[in-house]
Structure 1
Amino acid sequence: MVGIVSDATQTRAPGQHRDPVAALARPISGARPTAGRVAILPFDHEGFAAAVRDGGGEVGPLDNSTRGVVWLNLDHDALGDVLAAHPGVEWVQVPMAGVERFAPLFMAQGAAELPLWTSAKGSFAEPVAEHAVALALAVLRGLPDKSRSTSWADSKTGISLFGRNIVIVGAGGIALEIMRLLAPFEVSITIVRRTAGDVPGARRTVVASALMDVLPQADVVILAAAATDKTAHLIGREQLAAMKPSAALVNIARGHLIDQDALAEALAAGHLAGAGLDVTTPEPLPDGHPLWTAPRVVITSHSADTPEMTEPLLAERIRANVAALLGDGAFVGIVDPVAGY
């Protein structure tokens, strides 16, 4: 298993990322999962099994002694069957940061404290933030259309990122890493978040209800929020109309945060510098969808975090949480089943 460097000042091998939120883990209050054997499901994965062992745990088949499950796909129905048949499972690790696919299981759990759910949230922050900045630069510099050109342009076009006003929707690990990567560009950052409270490094922080107040000043809007019922079509016709005609829109969160029909219409009308979309609804985006041929848009097919980037990070998250299961209870990436992320 590839080790993850926990100190950002240390030298890292090319392509090696760290989990920037791991150091923030604190022992949980309330019900603690019982220490015990961990099953890797619904298929074997030696790298993640090694992570369990590195955390001090024992990997075994699913049975009545299983206390933890590392679940490796998006099949919530199959996972629900596992939990129903094995009520002794008290901790579940899922492999992605966004956990909306498992919402039916959260609803079924209700107010019960166990099983404790942990996700990969925050662990993929570095590669996803890197992609978000790449998309912002690509859109501002006009690369979507320039890359499709078949003849030399008559004029030079492009917008510099330096000194621009950036609005980031979300205040999790990805948003914090985007802020770190943007620092050399001397931008002014506004964070839009669900709850009140300043985010260190941001020029200002506002709650979600103030989104319309900050959009008109934004040169770049980056969506890095969780997918919930409240964030569906967070950017719709009204929000798009409020943005500068020269603004760039970047989405590395989930597709349903944007009204895609409204976005396609805005782009066709010449509004916005463009859009950089790593995520869409649905995925895959069907061939022939208007966004594929919309002007000034680049779609990167949910590749901000490739398996080569994420597997070592997920392995480290698993190792840390197995150590928490057996030790002090300082789990990383705890999911709030009620909030849905």
Structure 2
Amino acid sequence: MSIHEQTSVRSSHQHRAVLSTAVEALPAGERPHPGPLALLPRPNALFSDAVAAGGGQVEELSADTRALVWLSTQGAEQLADALDTNPQIEWVQLPWAGVDGFAHVLAAKARPGLLWTSAKGAYAEPVAEHALTLALALLRVLPTRVRATSWSRVPEGRSLYGLNVVIVGAGGIAIELLRLLAPFDVTTTVVRRSAAPVAGADRTVASDALDDVLPEADVVFVAAASTAETAQMFSTRQFALMKPVAHIVNIARGALIDTDALVTALNDGEIAGAGLDVTKPEPLPDGHPLWDVPNCIITPHSADTPDMTAPLLAERIRLNVEAFLGDGRFVGVVDPLAGY
């Protein structure tokens, strides 16, 4: 069974990884040398079993360690220290799809002979499901309905069927969103770094054409990586370009949206609503103006809960340990300088 086939097999936990590109073996000269692996900051039975299932050996961090699996979403400086004191490490597996929390470490420690992989694509199914849930809730004015204390006689709500949808990003979440949206007969535009076509999308445009496609969008899904280039890619100008009936859903990172501009756009009626699983700042403080916006749904970065992600990360670890010890077909390779 190929890597692609393996990452498409559903586990007993229902979900599977969704990859936006085919997995290819690293050239022999670029592969890390096999050896013991360390699980940091502390071992975990599920992930230790995943290493063993891939044929690997978990040991305490030492001069013999050749690979490191980082299991915390925090502790970037601790990770940096581990790499500084163990220059023999040749592969690091990170726990989440987005690596923005470790971006400065990746950039500072980038060197020939050090491979980085993440969980990108691993959590695409639950996150895309959450994104669609937020969009449907907004279109059906559920924020108003759940707060109601009397029977409304105002005929509100829109159907998703036949609408124009813009998806910003072309990773696993975007690919899964396209699949979930297909039964609704929507017209989809994917905005990505290049205009290379994305399978399943009606149209693909480069990121510099974002402003050109926003005026026709009914729903905008934000699913791009958080980098210096994507910071606040949605701000005052972008909201002004959108329809008053349009909704925006962000399941990527809060930094992609200018929060102050979003609050203004929602309060002024420039857009109809927002569904946010991520915010900036995050966590969103009590008393923040976003909490008072009636047409905004905020979920606490819970599109993929630990119960959903743990088996998916374990499978990613297993696959990459097999690649580490075998043919070099690593899944989720990260460019440390680009940050994704």
Cα distance in 1, alignment partners of residues 296 and 188 from structure 2: 23
- Secondary structure, counterpart of 2:149 in structure 1: coil
Which residue does 1:99 correspond to in 2?
99
Contact kept? 1:5, 1:17, Cα under 8 Å: no
- Quick one: structure 1 residues 165 and 145, their matched pair in 2 at CA, closer, same or farther if it must change by over 3 Å? same
Contact kept? 2:18, 2:173, Cα under 8 Å: no
C-alpha distance after superposition, 1:21-43 (max 9, x if no partner): 29932101352111011111001
Structure 1 outlier segments of 4+, above 6 Å: none
Contact kept? 1:6, 1:19, Cα under 8 Å: no
> Structure 2 matches for 1:249-268, cutoff 5 A?
249-268=248-267
Which residue does 2:83 correspond to in 1?
83
Contact kept? 2:20, 2:170, Cα under 8 Å: no
Structure 2 residue 285 is the aligned partner of structure 1 residue 279: no
C-alpha distance after superposition, 1:157-185 (max 9, x if no partner): 10100011000000001100000000100
- Quick one: structure 1 residues 11 and 123, their matched pair in 2 at CA, closer, same or farther if it must change by over 3 Å? closer
Cα distance in 2, alignment partners of residues 22 and 191 from structure 1: 13
Cα distance in 2, alignment partners of residues 309 and 294 from structure 1: 30
Structure 2 residue 265 is the aligned partner of structure 1 residue 245: no
Task: Kindly report the root-mean-square deviation, in angstroms, between the aligned alpha carbons of the 2 structures.
Answer: 1.7
C-alpha distance after superposition, 1:48-100 (max 9, x if no partner): 00000000000010000101111011211000000000111110001001101
Contact kept? 2:18, 2:121, Cα under 8 Å: yes
Cα distance in 2, alignment partners of residues 12 and 187 from structure 1: 30
Contact kept? 2:20, 2:172, Cα under 8 Å: no
Contact kept? 2:32, 2:324, Cα under 8 Å: yes
Cα distance in 2, alignment partners of residues 203 and 23 from structure 1: 18
Contact kept? 2:273, 2:296, Cα under 8 Å: yes
Which residue does 1:218 correspond to in 2?
217
AA partner of residue 254 (structure 1): R
> Structure 2 matches for 1:257-336, cutoff 5 A?
257-336=256-335
Which of 22, 33, 51 does residue 24 from structure 1 map onto?
A: 22
- Quick one: structure 1 residues 129 and 39, their matched pair in 2 at CA, closer, same or farther if it must change by over 3 Å? same
Contact kept? 1:255, 1:280, Cα under 8 Å: yes
Contact kept? 2:190, 2:198, Cα under 8 Å: yes
AA partner of residue 31 (structure 1): E
C-alpha distance after superposition, 1:128-183 (max 9, x if no partner): 00001001101111111221122221212101000110000000011000000001
> Structure 2 matches for 1:228-243, cutoff 5 A?
228-243=227-242
- Which shifted more, 98-107 or 118-127? 98-107
Contact kept? 1:5, 1:18, Cα under 8 Å: no
| Runs of 5+ unmatched residues, structure 1 | none
- Quick one: structure 1 residues 143 and 127, their matched pair in 2 at CA, closer, same or farther if it must change by over 3 Å? same
- Quick one: structure 1 residues 273 and 196, their matched pair in 2 at CA, closer, same or farther if it must change by over 3 Å? same
- Secondary structure, counterpart of 1:66 in structure 2: coil
> Structure 2 matches for 1:155-166, cutoff 5 A?
155-166=154-165
AA partner of residue 84 (structure 1): D
Aligned residue pair count: 335
The percentage of counterpart residues that share the same residue type is: 56
Q: By how many angstroms is 1:109 displaced?
A: 2.6
Contact kept? 1:20, 1:125, Cα under 8 Å: yes
- Quick one: structure 1 residues 20 and 187, their matched pair in 2 at CA, closer, same or farther if it must change by over 3 Å? same
AA partner of residue 157 (structure 1): E
Contact kept? 2:97, 2:118, Cα under 8 Å: yes
- Quick one: structure 1 residues 22 and 316, their matched pair in 2 at CA, closer, same or farther if it must change by over 3 Å? farther
Which residue does 2:32 correspond to in 1?
33
Q: By how many angstroms is 1:238 displaced?
A: 0.2
Structure 2 residue 140 is the aligned partner of structure 1 residue 138: no
AA partner of residue 244 (structure 2): P
Query: TM-score when scaled to structure 1?
Result: 0.95
